[in-house]
Copies of this chain bind each other. A is one copy, B any other.
Amino acid sequence: MIGLGRMGAGMSRRLHRAGVRVVGYDPNPEARARLAQDGIETVDRLEALVAALKPPRTVWLMVPAGDPVDQVLAQLAPLLAAGDLIVEGGNSYYRDTLRRAETLQARGLLFADVGVSGGLWGEREGYGLMAGGPPEAIERLRPILERLAPGPDRGWVHAGPVGAGHFVKMVHNGIEYALMQAYAEGFALLKAKAPFQLDLAAIAEAWRHGTIIRSFLLDLIAGVLREDAALADIAPVVADSGEGRWTVQEAVDLGVPVDTIAAALFRRFASQDPERYGDRLLAALRHAFGGHPVQRAAS
């Protein structure tokens, strides 16, 4: 396991508890130390990681998407032998995955991409796993997938050829954006209905059971609101990672309308923008054509 952050560490522990031998590597000594406390073997160099495994090796990358993946692969690939299997489990763009697979397969390495969902809960409840790659790679991975997933027969899928794992995970995250936005709109609406003085935390909790809209996200929302329904000291700024963006761009390429996913992404963009130039222009424009008053910006 290369990369012992939140996800990589949790997965390592889940596998270790399931009796799978895991060797962990991370350039950060604190990350290694935390994992070592759980009784998991760690190494401080990639060479040591490779040396610690018997061929054919299975090396799982759990590092941030983008350049870090390319850097690790550039160092790792020359250390491996033909027939070794590299598994890329990050939130990578599937087009990068296709490119990387070509390079690695040319070296005789097996390559699989696995989208991993579950966040902080995955370690205990099991991860949702979407795998892409040739059948022999997925077969070799199967015991690991079965243990990382909530059950051997559930929560993982061989989605298709290389790239399909990250593609399906990307769409998963696009859907997630829209689901979150849907709930956020609903709770904002409940809150806006001032005369009813609705208890949002109690409603969220009740909705978790028996309703059509019950879901894991709603469970989390109920937990958030139970602790703090006013959210007064949370800034209304919603970050986005690459996958929502890629989902919309892919949908545009494929000619598929994704109204709610794009709306969710755009709301995040708007939340991140303190300037709001478009709104300024609209305010000035209303003044221009109708003499409507404008507010002056606070200096």
Tell me, in angstroms, the Cα distance from A266 to B263 when the chains sit together: 11
Tell me, in angstroms, the Cα distance from A168 to B172 when the chains sit together: 28
Tell me, in angstroms, the Cα distance from A252 to B241 when the chains sit together: 12
User: In residues 228-283 of chain A, which contact B (Cβ within 8 Å)?
Assistant: 228, 231-239, 245, 247-273, 275-283
**Least distance between A274 CB and chain B CB atoms (Å):** 9
Q: B290, A203: Cβ atoms under 8 Å?
A: no
Q: Which B residues lie within 8 Å of A261 (CB)?
A: 182, 185-186
Give the number of chain A interface residues (Cβ < 8 Å).
135
Q: A118, B212: Cβ atoms under 8 Å?
A: yes
Q: A231, B280: Cβ atoms under 8 Å?
A: yes
Q: B252, A291: Cβ atoms under 8 Å?
A: no
User: In residues 199-246 of chain A, which contact B (Cβ within 8 Å)?
Assistant: 199, 202-203, 205-218, 220-221, 223-225, 228, 231-239, 245
Tell me, in angstroms, the Cα distance from A133 to B50 when the chains sit together: 52
Stretch at the interface among A41-49, A63-71, A146-154: A146-154
Q: A172, B207: Cβ atoms under 8 Å?
A: yes
Q: Which B residues lie within 8 Å of A164 (CB)?
A: 196, 198
